Amino acid sequence: MLRIKVMFKQILKQLWAQRRSNSWILLELIVVTAAIWWVIDPLYVIRCNQTIPQGFDCTDVYRITLGELPKKSPAYKAEESDSVNALVNFNRIVDRIKQYPGVEASVVIRYYYPFSDSNSSSSYHYKSIEANAWNMGYYSAGDYFQVFRYTSAADHSWQSLAKIKINANDVFITKDIEKKMFGNKSALGKKLTGDDSTNVYTVVGVLDYVKLISSGQPQPIIISPEMKMNQTSSINEVKIFIRMKKGTAEKPFLEAFKKQMFSDLSIGNYYLTEINSYDRIKTDYEYSRGITNILRIKTGLCIFFLVNILLGVVGTFWLKCRARRDEIGLRMVLGSTREELHKFFITEGWLLTTLAFIIGIIINLQFIYFNGFYQTDQNNETGIPWVNNAFFHFTAVSIIVYVLLLVTVLLATWLPVSAACKVSPVDVLRDE
């Protein structure tokens, strides 16, 4: 105990004696503490949100897009696109897709699905309670829940959702809407009204939380099946989704599918334009929303700052250790072991880091007070406290920052110090 006390006293004296060279390091550590906090904050939020389950399953799912021949094309036949034949032709295409080897389930969707190019939201009412929700839909003839594998809030399986019999104006809602509208009671069988109060919807199923972007928090969703295919709907509005057997290799499947289906799916004036893996659609969706860029920039900046500290501390401590070679020699002669010397210098590094960290955090608190944290769409019903609670959030990010700084600084002091300690005390003292 006494030894440690003496050591601390000596270190503090040393820090003070070398305050000029230390102040540079201290200044750098303060700036980096303040700066890296803002780099870690979004990384922390995004990474935390990514641990929340998506709520559905994208693997082995593919999206098929059809096109229609232009009217000017010589191959265009006007009678194939009349109100009757257009639908017949479309259904033949869906049947052919279903029969393709390895297709486990399929569903036709108009407009909105997770990661769709456009989206729509509206408000729903139960008595006086209003909830906003993203609208999704599908044609009830398809195996929607088998393709996307949303899970039921009751037993967390998709099978129980797929079994539900659907009538007109039935809807599925996510658990956050249930919580908001009905508290702890079940929403099943309850009736919701839409914006204009003429439409009344019956809740037939409740889904687990669904995230519409993996870096975000769960969002309220209402899924309304459409009973019949609308004959006037344009081919650009509908997409066909299929789930392949588990473990279908993406690249060979896509190649084989295109090769066969480019000709097989040319029925009437329709033809196959694209098939994309749903994973790729998800990646593109997140990229186009700048999430990928944020992750890349912040990770890059984080590495940049830490490497800078590493270089700065290694450089400075190296020169410092050389300048203090005689001190090191003397300490060794007086009976300090190499471990004790290590401990001595490393404690010096630790004290510097902690001091800088405290000052940096105090500066940062001012910034947070004025600007707040990094936020994605926060959902207080479903979000996780590690992100949504300001105290947890601040503490967690600060701890990460402190640990990162400390590890870097300790590594950076350890390298030059252990090199300096390799010298023989005799040589050093002779230099004197």
Partner 1 sequence: MYKQYLKQAWQLLKQNKLFSSIYIIGTGLAISMVMIVAIVYYIKIANIYPETNRDRMLVAKSLSERSKSNSSFTNSSSFSYSAVKEYFYSLKSAEAVAAVFSVYGSAPYIQLSDNKTRVPVQVKYTDDAYWKVFNFSFVDGKPYSQADFISGTHTMVISESLAKEIFGSVNAVGKTLSMDFTEYRISGVVRDVSYATPETFAQAWVPYTCRDDYKAGFNGISGLLGGMKVYILCHSSSDADKISKEVSDKFQRYTNSQKKVRIELTGQPELYWKSVFRTWTNVPQNWTEVIKSYSLLLMLFLMVPAINLSSMISSRMNERVSEIGVRKAFGAPRHSLLNQILFENLILTCLGGIAGLLFSYIMILLGHNWLLNIFETWTSPLPEGVEVNFSPSMLINPTIFMVTFIVCLVLNLLSAILPAWISLRKNIVDSLNAKN
Pairing of strands 200-207, 129-139: unpaired
Distances in whole angstroms, Cα of residue 392 to Cα of each of 171, 354, 360, 386: 37, 20, 18, 5
Question: Which residues is 241 bridged to in the sheet?
Answer: 63, 107
Alpha helices in 289-337 (DSSP H): 291-323, 325-333
Q: Count of CB atoms within 10 A of residue 70's CB? A: 9
| CA gap 309, 409 in Å, rounded | 7
Q: Which residues of this protein are in contact with partner 1, per CB under 8 A?
A: 20-21, 24-25, 27-28, 31-32, 35, 65, 67, 69-76, 117, 236, 258-259, 262-263, 271, 273-274, 283-284, 287-290, 292-293, 296-297, 301, 304-305, 307-309, 311-312, 314-316, 318-320, 322-323
Q: Nearer to partner 1 by C-beta: 29 or 181?
A: 29
Phi then psi for 423, rounded to 5 degrees?
-65, 155
Query: Minimum distance from CB of 290 to partner 1 (Å)?
Result: 5
Phi then psi for 153, rounded to 5 degrees?
-70, -25
Q: Nearer to partner 1 by C-beta: 45 or 192?
A: 45
The residue to which tokens 């936020």 are assigned: 375
Planar angle of CA 186, 212, 53, nearest 5 degrees: 70
| CA gap 424, 328 in Å, rounded | 10
Q: Nearer to partner 1 by C-beta: 100 or 126?
A: 100
Q: Nearer to partner 1 by C-beta: 25 or 107?
A: 25
Query: Minimum distance from CB of 34 to partner 1 (Å)?
Result: 10
Name the token pair of 119. Answer: 């989206």
Q: Count of CB atoms within 10 A of residue 262's CB? A: 12
Q: Nearer to partner 1 by C-beta: 149 or 320?
A: 320
Name the token pair of 259. Answer: 């090769």
Query: Minimum distance from CB of 29 to partner 1 (Å)?
Result: 9
Q: Nearer to partner 1 by C-beta: 134 or 305?
A: 305
Query: Minimum distance from CB of 197 to partner 1 (Å)?
Result: 22
Q: Nearer to partner 1 by C-beta: 223 or 352?
A: 352
Q: Count of CB atoms within 10 A of residue 302's CB? A: 17
Query: Minimum distance from CB of 216 to partner 1 (Å)?
Result: 15
Query: Minimum distance from CB of 223 to partner 1 (Å)?
Result: 25
**What is the crossing angle of helices 291-323 and 19-50, to 10°?**
150
Query: Minimum distance from CB of 357 to partner 1 (Å)?
Result: 16
Half-sphere exposure (Cβ direction) of 383: Cα atoms closer than 13 Å: 20
Query: Minimum distance from CB of 189 to partner 1 (Å)?
Result: 36
Q: Nearer to partner 1 by C-beta: 277 or 336?
A: 277
